Amino acid sequence: MSQPDDLIAQLADIDPDSDLAHARQTRHAATLHAQGSYNLLFDQGDDDFPLSGRHYLAALVAGWHAQPGLQAHYQQQASVRQPERIVAAEAFACRLSVEPVAATPADLEILKAAGWSLRGIVTLAQLVAFVSFQSRLLAGLHSLQGKHGHDEATPVVAGRWHQATRTASGKTALTAFTQQELGWEPWLPAKPLAEFSEAEQATLAKFGHTHSDYFRLLARNLPLLEQRTLTDKGIFYTAGGLPRAERELAATVVSKVNGCIYCASVHARKASQLSKQDEAIQKLLNVAPGAVLSHGQSDRWQAIIGFSAALSLTPAQPTLSQVKALREQGLDTLDLLDLIQSTAFFAWANRLMLTLGEPFLPE
């Protein structure tokens, strides 16, 4: 079956003459490379992770995220019967989708024992995280168009995070959110640089990934990592629209919902630097599990935090009243698209960071 040219536009039923369609064209790089990531994931099937298994698991993930249109799209191409190795991945896919902070190295050992290769595990994690991203794009775009939104917004609270004082390898672990620079260690071996071809090493270098264990782990499927990186750049490093500081704020909010201390440290630091609102960012980081994330913030940031947090729940729960509140704070359609895409992208990023490794405090 041929792939659609723009699956999100098709499933979100975006009028090609609408302000939203024009905003997505303004963010052409993000649109192009999100579609490119989809194309790779669902054209790239091999014996290690066949396409029927990819569609089958993607349909499950879309269902857990309450996106029936996306679920039906994947179900059309999925086989009902799956090899035991694919069935063994269901528990991992569910954990990654619903509560990624609960992942442990043992989850990856189970996959390896079921016959998954290192490359296959990375591709599996990318697929589940990507469908989580797609699901939030759709939820956000529907709410922006006045469709499928919840009527009443319930204040979203901070999720739980790791409380172990040591990492799996014995390094000093983090038990609180911080703007400090942290390390991150993988639970699977990163691919050694010498095992990449000269052209592959050039691709890693182009994006600054050469010396990162995280990115050299994801580079076990390098074409997919390249599309993901270009999607990231298309969302966060573009002119106009939502100020960059508030895109970074959204990334921090998602990380608080999901309990991703590493992602929050990077993006809270950027939000502080760009906004000059260090006290407000630190207040967000300090919110305890179960406490409301937007408490004590300015009206504009309360609106941004509330919407971003609601979009980060599983399933996502953005409301039409939240969209209205954002517009009342001066956000136009391009601003709102930037907020949706920044939030959705960290549904993808957090799920990889939390399920393939963990942060540590450098000595």
The whole-angstrom separation of Cα 188 and Cα 126 is 14
Q: Tell whether 341 and 263 lie within a shared domain.
A: yes
Tens digit of pLDDT for each residue in 63-74?
999 999 999 999
Tell me whether residue 163 is in a domain.
yes
Q: Is 213 inside any structural domain? A: no
What's the CATH number where 165 sits?
A: 1.20.1290.10
Least confident of 32-46, 212-226, 243-257: 32-46
User: Taking the model in full, what pTM does it have?
Assistant: 0.96
Length of the chain, in residues:
363
> What percent of the chain is predicted at pLDDT more than 90?
90
pLDDT of residue 44: 82
C-alpha distances out from residue 160 to 54, 177, 239, 266, Å: 30, 11, 34, 19
**Looking at the structure, do residues 324 and 248 belong to the same domain, yes or no?**
yes
pLDDT of residue 246: 98
CATH of the domain at 64: 1.20.1290
pLDDT of residue 186: 98
pLDDT digits 0-9 by tens, 2-28 = 567 999 999 999 999 999 999 999 999
How far is 64 from 52, CA to CA, in rounded Å? 19
| Rounded (to 5) percent helix, strand, coil in the chain | 60, 5, 35
Find out whether 245 and 275 touch, Cβ atoms under 8 Å.
yes
Separation between Cα atoms, residue 257 and residue 277, nearest integer Å = 21
User: CA dihedral in degrees (33, 34, 39, 44; nearest 10)?
Assistant: 90
Helix (H, G, I), strand (E, B) or coil at 346: helix
H or E stretch covering 125: helix 118-144
69 and 172, same domain (yes or no): no
Separation in Å, CA 183 to CA 265, 275, 360: 10, 24, 5
Alpha carbon distance 9, 137 (integer Å): 10
Residue whose pair of structure tokens reads 């994006």 in the numeric block: 207
Q: Assess whether 137 and 259 both reside in one domain.
A: no
Residue 297 lies in a domain: yes
Evaluate whether residue 317 is within a structural domain.
yes
Both 29 and 52 in a single domain?
yes
| Predicted confidence (pLDDT) per residue in 104-150, tens digit | 999 999 999 999 999 999 999 999 999 999 999 999 999 999 986 66
pLDDT at 351: 98
**Same domain (yes/no): 351, 260:** yes
Same domain, 294 and 251: yes
Secondary structure element (H or E) that encloses residue 186, with its range: strand 183-186
What's the domain count of the chain?
A: 2
Residues 140 and 177 in one domain: no
Tell me how far apart the alpha carbons of residues 102 and 320 are, in angstroms, rounded to a whole number: 31
For residues 310 and 163, state if they share a domain: yes
pLDDT in tens, 162-176: 999 999 999 999 999
Domain for residue 166, yes or no? Answer: yes
Residue 149: the pLDDT is 61
Whether 69 and 184 share a structural domain: no
The Cα 221–Cα 204 span in angstroms is 12
Q: Do residue 161 and residue 287 come from a single domain?
A: yes
Percent of the chain at pLDDT exceeding 70: 98
Residue 227 is predicted with a pLDDT of 98
Structure confidence at residue 101 (pLDDT): 97
pLDDT tier at 155, thresholds 50, 70, 90 = confident
pLDDT digits (tens, 9 = 90+) for 324-363: 999 999 999 999 999 999 999 999 999 999 999 999 999 8
* Whole-number pLDDT of residue 19: 97
| Whether the predicted pLDDT of 1 surpasses 60 | no
1 in any annotated domain: no
pLDDT score of 172 = 97
DSSP codes of every residue in 235-264: HHS-SSSS-HHHHHHHHHHHHHHHT-HHHH
| Residue range of the domain that includes 264 | 157-202+242-360
**Averaged confidence pLDDT in the chain:** 95
Q: Which of 145, 175, 192 is the last residue of a domain?
A: 145
Please check whether residue 53 lies inside any domain of the structure.
yes
Residue 262 lies in a domain: yes
Residues 196 and 343 in one domain: yes
With tokens 């990934």, the residue in question is 209
